[in-house]
Amino acid sequence: MGEPRREEYKIQSFDAATQQLLKTALKDPGAVDLEKVANVIVDHSLQDCVFSKEAGRMCYAIIQVNNMPMMALVNPVYDCLFRLAQPDSLSKEEEVDCLVLQLHRVGEQLEKMNGQRMDELFVLIRDGFLLPAGLSSLAQLLLLEIIEFRAAGWKTTPAAHKYYYSEVSD
């Protein structure tokens, strides 16, 4: 009984009206404009990178309630991914790791909902890989891996798995 609820989110930095909007979205997504909620979350995430992890948890929770469709989040998620694919972000390994991880998780679904934006995103990723001004070898490896992952139909081929993960112990 003394355990904190798992559904509690760090939304204290928002004004009272926005906090209420987010609480309602988490309890009953159908009662709010999900595009507005998504834009609020994305805008705050872009201003405060520490909030980004919390934002992802909130968006995931909103999507899971009543199997709500992800449509309202498609463009804001793409906006975040495009931000992570900019040259200044690609120079930071943790941001490249975040980009690749999210594409592994939701890339296929995003592409089904808006293939043109995925094509545009992968042009940025490809350019970032080909013009490695200050990219670490790990960042280059991660970018190459996600390019191959998408090219293989959002699946890891046995050869790719062996190449990219041969140094990882189970």
3-12 pLDDT tens trace: 444 446 778 8
Residue ranges for the chain with pLDDT beneath 70: 1-8, 66-70, 132, 167-170
The reported pLDDT for the residue numbered 163 is 86
How is residue 154 annotated by DSSP?
A: S
The reported pLDDT for the residue numbered 4 is 41
The reported pLDDT for the residue numbered 70 is 64
The reported pLDDT for the residue numbered 107 is 94
Residue 114, Cα to own-chain centre: how many angstroms?
15
The reported pLDDT for the residue numbered 49 is 74
